[in-house]
């Protein structure tokens, strides 16, 4: 029986608009830098994401009257048309898979698209719309490391990209997708890890974090519960060896070589490297999210109010005035989503609001585009704010 997962989102915190600056130093490791000029990209180490080729006018025509549009991934996006049928389009507005399906995974993986005609029939296509194989009475699956985990008849098995089973069945009570060459498996109330051959390489010995499933491997490291009575976490490598000598009360996956943790002895949030050393320490009134595109969101611990972004030196490179935004999310494609309490917009890596907060938006930028709604209509925006609504 699959345990319930609770997704904890650590939204990216926001940025300066105009000339407002906040000189608060929240990092003990390095002095804060609050300049908002053109050097911000150099400070963060982020390079501008090149705009990928797309045809907003052609996309506008094919999605006219659509019920739902979903984010692009690998140059493809699912669209539910005005008749409630699902198809797949590319960034030039071409229909890759015709509008005759009922459901698709929102994000495609490793060149494979899964569509349904009903809950029992699952069709797997390549990115050109060629049917690869189909399956009956199986859950939809996404491929990672060339392998997909498929639930069937209460069991879980893994298959390759031709639809052929590789291993699995009744060996586990539950199994997860592969991540970084390893997959979580659950048996008799304990978690372990298998490799891409199906071999159990880290035995069943870990319990679940409170109210959620554990994370898989990221950057070659996984966070696991080491002391269940005190809810203390440590990090292990792919051999099962604990690489962090100290345990923490809060865990997050390693992202870009660092992990956000909470040290109850010092009562501070901070970031550790893979040796377990605390390389960035935040002041008590702040906590931090995961790094993405070289930046991590910092929030005020009281109320979770977005404060700004730091780089991997612990320097504040983006700040925002109090009350500017109610929520902020991490950077993707050089854009971070912000919410002002009325609508969503996006800022760039200098903190400038480049897309105004006038949209309904549930996704992030991917492949240079983001799906949004405005005045009840579905559409897409590019990174500069150009939209399908213009056509």
Question: pLDDT digits over 168-213, tens only?
Answer: 887 899 999 999 999 999 999 999 999 999 999 999 999 988 777 7
The pLDDT value given to residue 28 = 40
161 vs 35 pLDDT, higher one: 161
The pLDDT value given to residue 363 = 95
- The predicted model gives 152-159 an average pLDDT of 88
- The predicted model gives 366-371 an average pLDDT of 97
Check pLDDT > 90 for residue 80: yes
Beta-sheet pairing, 103-104 with 95-101: unpaired
49 vs 100 pLDDT, higher one: 100
The pLDDT value given to residue 45 = 47
The pLDDT value given to residue 31 = 35
Lowest model confidence (mean pLDDT) among 14-23, 101-110, 331-340:
14-23
How far is 330 from 364, CA to CA, in rounded Å? Answer: 9
- The predicted model gives 125-154 an average pLDDT of 89
Check pLDDT > 50 for residue 33: no
Check pLDDT > 50 for residue 5: no
Of 37-51, 99-113, 142-156, which has the strongest mean pLDDT?
142-156
The answer to whether the beta carbons of residues 347 and 384 sit under 8 Å apart is: no
The pLDDT value given to residue 105 = 65
The pLDDT value given to residue 336 = 97
Check pLDDT > 70 for residue 52: no
């Amino acid at each position: 029986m699959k345990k319930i997962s609770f997704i904890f989102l650590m939204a990216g915190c926001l940025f300066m608009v105009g000339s407002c600056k906040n000189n608060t130093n929240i990092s003990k490791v390095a002095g804060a830098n609050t300049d908002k000029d053109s050097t911000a990209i150099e400070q963060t180490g982020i390079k501008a994401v090149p705009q990928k080729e797309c045809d907003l006018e052609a996309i506008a025509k094919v999605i006219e009257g659509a019920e739902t549009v979903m984010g692009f991934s690998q140059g493809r996006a699912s669209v539910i048309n005005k008749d409630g049928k699902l198809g797949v389009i590319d960034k030039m507005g071409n229909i890759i898979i015709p509008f005759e399906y009922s459901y698709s995974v929102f994000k495609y993986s490793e060149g494979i698209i899964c569509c349904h005609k009903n809950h029992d029939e699952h069709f797997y296509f390549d990115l050109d719309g060629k049917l690869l194989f189909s399956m009956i009475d199986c859950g939809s699956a996404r491929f990672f490391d060339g392998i997909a985990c498929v639930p069937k008849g209460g069991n879980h098995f893994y298959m390759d990209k031709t639809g052929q089973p590789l291993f699995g069945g009744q060996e586990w009570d539950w199994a997860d997708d592969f991540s970084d060459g390893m997959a979580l498996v659950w048996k008799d109330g304990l978690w372990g890890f298998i490799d891409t051959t199906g071999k159990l390489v880290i035995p069943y010995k870990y319990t679940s974090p409170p109210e959620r499933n554990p994370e898989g491997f990221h950057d070659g490291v996984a966070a696991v519960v080491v002391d269940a009575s005190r809810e203390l976490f440590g990090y292990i490598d792919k051999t099962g060896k604990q690489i962090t000598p100290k345990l923490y009360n809060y865990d997050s996956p390693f992202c870009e070589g660092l992990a956000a943790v909470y040290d109850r002895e010092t009562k501070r949030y901070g970031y550790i490297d893979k040796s377990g050393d605390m390389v960035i320490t935040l002041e008590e009134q702040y906590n931090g999210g995961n790094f993405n595109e070289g930046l991590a969101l910092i929030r005020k611990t009281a109320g979770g109010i977005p404060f700004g972004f730091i780089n991997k030196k612990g320097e504040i490179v983006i700040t925002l005035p109090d009350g500017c935004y109610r929520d902020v999310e991490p950077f993707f494609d050089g854009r971070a989503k912000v919410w002002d309490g009325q609508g969503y917009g996006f800022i760039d890596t200098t903190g400038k609001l480049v897309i105004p907060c006038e949209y309904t938006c549930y996704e992030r930028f991917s492949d240079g585009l983001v799906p949004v709604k405005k005045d009840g209509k579905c559409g897409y925006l590019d990174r500069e704010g150009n939209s399908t609504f213009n056509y």
